[in-house]
Amino acid sequence: MTCAIVGLGLMGGSFGLATKKYFSKIVGIDHNKSHQEDAIKLGLVDEIVELKDLENVDVIVLAIPIRGIISVLKELSKLNLKDDVLIIDFGSTKESIIKECPKNIRRNLVASHPMAGTEYSGPAAAIEDLYKNKVMVVCNIEESGDIQVKRAFDIYNFLEMKIKIMDAKEHDRHAAFISHMPHIVSFSIANAVLNQEDKEHIVTLAAGGFRDMSRLAKSNPAMWRDIFKENKKNLLDSIEAFKDELKRAKDLIENEKWDELYEWMKKGNELHKIM
Ligand SMILES: NC(=O)C1=CN([C@@H]2O[C@H](COP(=O)(O)OP(=O)(O)OC[C@H]3O[C@@H](n4cnc5c(N)ncnc54)[C@H](O)[C@@H]3O)[C@@H](O)[C@H]2O)C=CC1
Ligand SMILES: O=C(O)C(=O)Cc1ccc(O)cc1
Protein backbone atom coordinates (compact mmCIF):
# COMPACT_ATOMS: atom_id res chain seq x y z
CA MET A 1 0.00 0.00 0.00
CA THR A 2 1.29 3.51 -0.83
CA CYS A 3 0.83 6.72 1.13
CA ALA A 4 1.06 10.46 0.45
CA ILE A 5 1.55 12.94 3.28
CA VAL A 6 0.55 16.55 2.66
CA GLY A 7 2.39 18.72 5.23
CA LEU A 8 5.82 17.47 6.30
CA GLY A 9 5.96 19.12 9.72
CA LEU A 10 5.57 17.72 13.23
CA MET A 11 2.42 15.63 12.60
CA GLY A 12 2.99 14.59 8.97
CA GLY A 13 6.71 13.95 9.49
CA SER A 14 6.11 11.86 12.61
CA PHE A 15 3.49 9.84 10.71
CA GLY A 16 6.03 9.21 7.92
CA LEU A 17 8.69 8.01 10.37
CA ALA A 18 6.25 5.72 12.21
CA THR A 19 4.72 4.08 9.11
CA LYS A 20 7.89 3.41 7.08
CA LYS A 21 7.45 -0.33 7.55
CA TYR A 22 3.68 -0.23 6.95
CA PHE A 23 3.69 1.34 3.48
CA SER A 24 5.68 0.17 0.46
CA LYS A 25 6.26 3.82 -0.51
CA ILE A 26 5.59 7.20 1.13
CA VAL A 27 5.56 10.38 -0.94
CA GLY A 28 5.33 13.90 0.47
CA ILE A 29 3.97 17.32 -0.44
CA ASP A 30 4.85 20.61 1.23
CA HIS A 31 4.55 24.17 -0.07
CA ASN A 32 7.74 25.18 1.75
CA LYS A 33 10.84 24.31 -0.32
CA SER A 34 13.19 24.08 2.66
CA HIS A 35 10.71 21.78 4.46
CA GLN A 36 10.71 19.55 1.35
CA GLU A 37 14.52 19.33 1.49
CA ASP A 38 14.59 18.74 5.26
CA ALA A 39 11.93 16.01 4.96
CA ILE A 40 14.06 14.10 2.45
CA LYS A 41 17.26 14.58 4.49
CA LEU A 42 15.50 13.40 7.67
CA GLY A 43 14.00 10.39 5.87
CA LEU A 44 10.38 11.41 6.62
CA VAL A 45 9.25 10.50 3.07
CA ASP A 46 10.81 8.77 0.03
CA GLU A 47 10.21 11.54 -2.50
CA ILE A 48 8.53 14.91 -3.01
CA VAL A 49 5.59 15.08 -5.42
CA GLU A 50 2.67 17.38 -6.26
CA LEU A 51 -1.07 17.05 -5.66
CA LYS A 52 -1.70 16.00 -9.26
CA ASP A 53 0.54 12.94 -8.67
CA LEU A 54 -1.80 11.44 -6.04
CA GLU A 55 -4.19 9.64 -8.40
CA ASN A 56 -2.68 6.19 -7.70
CA VAL A 57 -1.97 6.33 -3.96
CA ASP A 58 -3.98 4.29 -1.43
CA VAL A 59 -3.80 6.64 1.56
CA ILE A 60 -3.57 10.46 1.69
CA VAL A 61 -2.77 12.13 5.03
CA LEU A 62 -3.52 15.84 5.42
CA ALA A 63 -1.26 17.25 8.15
CA ILE A 64 -1.54 21.00 7.46
CA PRO A 65 -3.50 23.85 9.13
CA ILE A 66 -7.32 23.53 9.05
CA ARG A 67 -8.12 26.01 6.25
CA GLY A 68 -5.38 24.34 4.17
CA ILE A 69 -7.01 20.93 4.76
CA ILE A 70 -10.31 22.29 3.44
CA SER A 71 -8.74 23.78 0.30
CA VAL A 72 -6.69 20.63 -0.41
CA LEU A 73 -9.88 18.51 -0.04
CA LYS A 74 -11.44 20.75 -2.70
CA GLU A 75 -8.43 20.21 -4.99
CA LEU A 76 -8.47 16.43 -4.37
CA SER A 77 -12.18 16.27 -5.26
CA LYS A 78 -11.28 17.39 -8.81
CA LEU A 79 -8.68 14.63 -9.34
CA ASN A 80 -9.29 11.12 -10.58
CA LEU A 81 -8.38 9.46 -7.27
CA LYS A 82 -8.64 5.71 -6.66
CA ASP A 83 -12.24 4.78 -5.76
CA ASP A 84 -11.25 3.29 -2.42
CA VAL A 85 -8.57 5.85 -1.49
CA LEU A 86 -8.48 6.68 2.22
CA ILE A 87 -8.07 10.37 3.08
CA ILE A 88 -7.17 11.16 6.70
CA ASP A 89 -6.96 14.67 8.11
CA PHE A 90 -5.28 15.54 11.41
CA GLY A 91 -6.94 18.95 11.98
CA SER A 92 -7.43 19.99 15.61
CA THR A 93 -11.08 20.91 14.96
CA LYS A 94 -13.40 18.64 13.02
CA GLU A 95 -16.80 20.24 12.32
CA SER A 96 -15.86 22.69 9.56
CA ILE A 97 -13.60 20.14 7.81
CA ILE A 98 -16.43 17.60 7.67
CA LYS A 99 -19.03 20.22 6.67
CA GLU A 100 -16.87 21.65 3.88
CA CYS A 101 -15.55 18.32 2.52
CA PRO A 102 -16.80 17.96 -1.09
CA LYS A 103 -19.59 15.37 -1.29
CA ASN A 104 -17.89 13.23 -3.97
CA ILE A 105 -14.98 12.38 -1.61
CA ARG A 106 -16.84 12.47 1.73
CA ARG A 107 -16.88 8.66 2.03
CA ASN A 108 -13.11 8.60 1.42
CA LEU A 109 -12.44 10.93 4.38
CA VAL A 110 -11.93 9.57 7.89
CA ALA A 111 -11.76 12.75 9.98
CA SER A 112 -9.27 12.16 12.77
CA HIS A 113 -7.65 14.11 15.59
CA PRO A 114 -4.52 12.66 17.17
CA MET A 115 -4.38 13.66 20.83
CA ALA A 116 -0.63 13.77 20.55
CA GLY A 117 1.71 16.59 19.76
CA THR A 118 4.25 19.01 21.07
CA GLU A 119 4.82 22.76 21.07
CA TYR A 120 7.35 22.42 18.21
CA SER A 121 6.71 22.52 14.46
CA GLY A 122 8.34 21.77 11.11
CA PRO A 123 10.11 18.64 9.79
CA ALA A 124 12.90 18.75 12.40
CA ALA A 125 10.26 18.41 15.15
CA ALA A 126 9.10 14.99 13.85
CA ILE A 127 9.37 12.13 16.35
CA GLU A 128 8.98 8.43 15.44
CA ASP A 129 6.96 7.43 18.51
CA LEU A 130 4.73 10.55 18.70
CA TYR A 131 1.55 8.52 18.11
CA LYS A 132 2.37 5.43 20.19
CA ASN A 133 -0.14 4.80 23.03
CA LYS A 134 -1.96 8.07 22.31
CA VAL A 135 -5.67 8.58 21.62
CA MET A 136 -6.92 9.04 18.04
CA VAL A 137 -10.38 10.62 18.01
CA VAL A 138 -12.30 9.69 14.86
CA CYS A 139 -15.42 11.74 14.04
CA ASN A 140 -18.71 11.01 12.25
CA ILE A 141 -17.54 7.63 10.92
CA GLU A 142 -21.06 6.80 9.74
CA GLU A 143 -20.42 9.21 6.85
CA SER A 144 -17.16 7.43 5.85
CA GLY A 145 -16.97 4.28 3.73
CA ASP A 146 -16.53 0.91 5.51
CA ILE A 147 -13.35 0.16 3.52
CA GLN A 148 -11.87 3.54 4.46
CA VAL A 149 -12.77 3.20 8.16
CA LYS A 150 -11.18 -0.27 8.29
CA ARG A 151 -8.07 0.96 6.48
CA ALA A 152 -7.73 3.90 8.90
CA PHE A 153 -8.27 1.74 11.99
CA ASP A 154 -5.67 -0.78 10.74
CA ILE A 155 -3.14 2.07 10.48
CA TYR A 156 -4.04 3.45 13.93
CA ASN A 157 -3.73 -0.04 15.42
CA PHE A 158 -0.32 -0.44 13.74
CA LEU A 159 0.66 2.85 15.44
CA GLU A 160 -0.59 1.33 18.76
CA MET A 161 -3.12 4.14 19.21
CA LYS A 162 -6.34 4.06 21.26
CA ILE A 163 -9.26 4.81 18.92
CA LYS A 164 -12.22 6.86 20.27
CA ILE A 165 -15.28 7.59 18.13
CA MET A 166 -17.00 10.96 18.62
CA ASP A 167 -19.48 13.34 17.07
CA ALA A 168 -17.60 16.25 15.43
CA LYS A 169 -19.65 19.01 17.10
CA GLU A 170 -19.11 17.44 20.53
CA HIS A 171 -15.43 16.91 19.76
CA ASP A 172 -14.95 20.61 19.01
CA ARG A 173 -16.70 21.61 22.25
CA HIS A 174 -14.57 19.27 24.41
CA ALA A 175 -11.38 20.21 22.53
CA ALA A 176 -12.05 23.92 23.24
CA PHE A 177 -12.03 23.34 27.02
CA ILE A 178 -9.39 20.60 27.29
CA SER A 179 -6.91 21.68 24.61
CA HIS A 180 -7.57 25.10 23.08
CA MET A 181 -8.33 27.18 26.20
CA PRO A 182 -5.14 25.92 27.98
CA HIS A 183 -3.15 27.21 24.99
CA ILE A 184 -4.83 30.65 25.29
CA VAL A 185 -4.07 30.66 29.03
CA SER A 186 -0.41 29.76 28.40
CA PHE A 187 -0.05 32.57 25.83
CA SER A 188 -1.74 34.93 28.37
CA ILE A 189 0.70 33.92 31.13
CA ALA A 190 3.66 34.47 28.79
CA ASN A 191 2.43 37.91 27.69
CA ALA A 192 1.49 39.01 31.23
CA VAL A 193 4.97 38.11 32.52
CA LEU A 194 6.75 39.65 29.51
CA ASN A 195 4.81 42.90 30.11
CA GLN A 196 5.69 43.04 33.82
CA GLU A 197 9.14 41.50 34.17
CA ASP A 198 12.59 41.94 32.64
CA LYS A 199 14.67 39.17 31.08
CA GLU A 200 17.10 38.88 34.00
CA HIS A 201 14.37 38.32 36.62
CA ILE A 202 12.50 35.88 34.38
CA VAL A 203 15.65 33.78 33.90
CA THR A 204 16.53 33.94 37.61
CA LEU A 205 13.10 33.11 38.99
CA ALA A 206 11.72 30.70 36.35
CA ALA A 207 11.34 27.40 38.16
CA GLY A 208 9.52 24.26 36.97
CA GLY A 209 6.02 25.64 37.53
CA PHE A 210 6.53 28.67 35.31
CA ARG A 211 8.18 26.53 32.63
CA ASP A 212 5.24 24.05 32.73
CA MET A 213 2.60 26.79 32.56
CA SER A 214 4.28 28.67 29.71
CA ARG A 215 5.40 25.67 27.59
CA LEU A 216 2.39 25.86 25.26
CA ALA A 217 3.21 29.52 24.56
CA LYS A 218 6.08 28.21 22.40
CA SER A 219 3.47 26.83 19.94
CA ASN A 220 3.19 27.94 16.31
CA PRO A 221 0.97 31.11 16.16
CA ALA A 222 -0.10 30.47 12.53
CA MET A 223 -1.45 27.02 13.38
CA TRP A 224 -3.19 28.24 16.53
CA ARG A 225 -4.78 31.25 14.78
CA ASP A 226 -6.55 28.76 12.49
CA ILE A 227 -7.67 26.58 15.40
CA PHE A 228 -8.98 29.55 17.44
CA LYS A 229 -10.77 30.95 14.37
CA GLU A 230 -12.47 27.63 13.56
CA ASN A 231 -13.54 27.04 17.16
CA LYS A 232 -14.38 30.65 18.06
CA LYS A 233 -17.76 30.12 19.75
CA ASN A 234 -16.64 27.18 21.94
CA LEU A 235 -13.34 28.90 22.70
CA LEU A 236 -15.13 32.07 23.91
CA ASP A 237 -17.30 29.92 26.22
CA SER A 238 -14.21 28.19 27.60
CA ILE A 239 -12.45 31.54 28.19
CA GLU A 240 -15.57 32.75 30.07
CA ALA A 241 -15.47 29.62 32.25
CA PHE A 242 -11.78 30.24 32.98
CA LYS A 243 -12.42 33.92 33.75
CA ASP A 244 -15.13 32.88 36.26
CA GLU A 245 -12.59 30.72 38.10
CA LEU A 246 -9.95 33.47 38.11
CA LYS A 247 -12.54 35.92 39.43
CA ARG A 248 -13.55 33.43 42.13
CA ALA A 249 -9.92 33.09 43.22
CA LYS A 250 -9.47 36.90 43.20
CA ASP A 251 -12.65 37.46 45.27
CA LEU A 252 -11.60 34.86 47.83
CA ILE A 253 -8.15 36.47 48.17
CA GLU A 254 -9.52 40.04 48.32
CA ASN A 255 -12.00 39.06 51.01
CA GLU A 256 -9.41 36.95 52.86
CA LYS A 257 -11.57 33.84 52.70
CA TRP A 258 -8.56 31.58 53.17
CA ASP A 259 -10.50 28.43 54.13
CA GLU A 260 -12.71 28.75 51.05
CA LEU A 261 -9.61 29.34 48.93
CA TYR A 262 -8.15 26.14 50.41
CA GLU A 263 -11.31 24.18 49.47
CA TRP A 264 -11.25 25.70 45.94
CA MET A 265 -7.66 24.48 45.49
CA LYS A 266 -8.53 21.05 46.97
CA LYS A 267 -11.16 20.67 44.26
CA GLY A 268 -8.45 21.45 41.66
CA ASN A 269 -6.29 18.67 43.18
CA GLU A 270 -8.94 16.18 41.98
CA LEU A 271 -8.12 16.74 38.28
CA HIS A 272 -4.89 14.76 38.17
CA LYS A 273 -6.42 11.84 40.07
CA ILE A 274 -8.51 11.03 36.98
CA MET A 275 -5.75 11.49 34.38
N1 LIG B 1 1.12 20.42 16.66
C2 LIG B 1 0.39 19.57 17.33
O3 LIG B 1 0.74 19.23 18.47
C4 LIG B 1 -0.86 18.99 16.72
C5 LIG B 1 -1.33 19.48 15.52
N6 LIG B 1 -2.48 18.96 14.97
C7 LIG B 1 -2.96 19.45 13.69
O8 LIG B 1 -2.13 18.89 12.69
C9 LIG B 1 -1.99 19.80 11.60
C10 LIG B 1 -0.52 19.98 11.30
O11 LIG B 1 0.13 20.51 12.41
P12 LIG B 1 1.72 20.44 12.61
O13 LIG B 1 2.28 19.24 11.98
O14 LIG B 1 1.95 20.67 14.05
O15 LIG B 1 2.20 21.72 11.80
P16 LIG B 1 3.66 22.06 11.25
O17 LIG B 1 3.71 23.54 11.12
O18 LIG B 1 4.72 21.39 12.06
O19 LIG B 1 3.66 21.39 9.79
C20 LIG B 1 2.81 21.77 8.77
C21 LIG B 1 3.57 21.60 7.45
O22 LIG B 1 2.65 21.78 6.39
C23 LIG B 1 3.18 22.68 5.42
N24 LIG B 1 2.01 23.31 4.82
C25 LIG B 1 1.17 24.20 5.40
N26 LIG B 1 0.14 24.48 4.57
C27 LIG B 1 0.33 23.74 3.45
C28 LIG B 1 -0.40 23.57 2.26
N29 LIG B 1 -1.55 24.22 2.04
N30 LIG B 1 0.10 22.73 1.31
C31 LIG B 1 1.26 22.07 1.51
N32 LIG B 1 1.99 22.19 2.64
C33 LIG B 1 1.53 23.01 3.59
C34 LIG B 1 4.11 23.59 6.18
O35 LIG B 1 5.11 24.12 5.34
C36 LIG B 1 4.67 22.63 7.24
O37 LIG B 1 5.83 21.97 6.77
C38 LIG B 1 -2.75 21.06 11.98
O39 LIG B 1 -4.04 21.03 11.39
C40 LIG B 1 -2.88 20.95 13.48
O41 LIG B 1 -4.05 21.61 13.95
C42 LIG B 1 -3.18 17.94 15.59
C43 LIG B 1 -2.74 17.42 16.77
C44 LIG B 1 -1.54 17.91 17.44
O1 LIG C 1 1.97 20.17 23.30
C2 LIG C 1 0.94 19.74 23.83
O3 LIG C 1 0.95 19.32 25.00
C4 LIG C 1 -0.33 19.68 23.09
O5 LIG C 1 -1.38 19.75 23.67
C6 LIG C 1 -0.21 19.48 21.62
C7 LIG C 1 -1.47 19.47 20.86
C8 LIG C 1 -1.73 20.54 20.03
C9 LIG C 1 -2.87 20.53 19.24
C10 LIG C 1 -3.73 19.46 19.31
O11 LIG C 1 -4.83 19.46 18.54
C12 LIG C 1 -3.48 18.38 20.13
C13 LIG C 1 -2.33 18.38 20.90
CATH number of the domain encompassing residue 260: 1.10.3660.10
Is the ipTM of this structure higher than 0.95? yes
160 and 24 part of one domain = yes
The Å distance, Cα 123 to ligand 1 centre, comes to 10
The answer for residues whose C-beta is within 8 angstroms of residue 28's C-beta and 6 or more apart is: 4, 5, 6, 8, 12, 16, 36, 39, 44, 45, 46, 47, 48, 49
The reply to whether ligand 2 has any atom less than 6 angstroms from the CB of 65 is no
Q: How confident is the model at residue 273 (pLDDT cuts 50, 70, 90)?
A: very high
Q: Which of 166, 195, 223 is the last residue of a domain?
A: 166
pLDDT tens track for 167-195: 999 999 999 999 999 999 999 999 999 99
SS3 state at 144: coil
Q: How many domains in the chain? A: 2
- Binned at pLDDT 50, 70 and 90, residue 2 comes out as very high
Q: Residue 166 — very low, low, confident or very high, per pLDDT cuts 50/70/90?
A: very high
Q: Label residue 91 by pLDDT band (50, 70, 90).
A: very high
Q: Is 111:138 a contact under the CB 8 Å cutoff? A: yes
Q: What is the predicted pLDDT for the residue at 206?
A: 94
pLDDT at 96: 97
State the chain's mean pLDDT as an integer.
Answer: 98
CA 252 / ligand 2 centre spacing (Å) = 32
Question: 138 with 224, same domain?
Answer: no
CATH number of the domain at 66, please.
Answer: 3.40.50.720
Q: Are residues 115 and 183 in the same domain?
A: no
How far is the centre of ligand 1, averaged over its atoms, from the C-alpha of 65 (Å)?
5
Q: In a mutational test of the pocket of ligand 1, which residue from 74, 223, 231 has the highest number of ligand atoms less than 8 Å from its CB?
A: 223
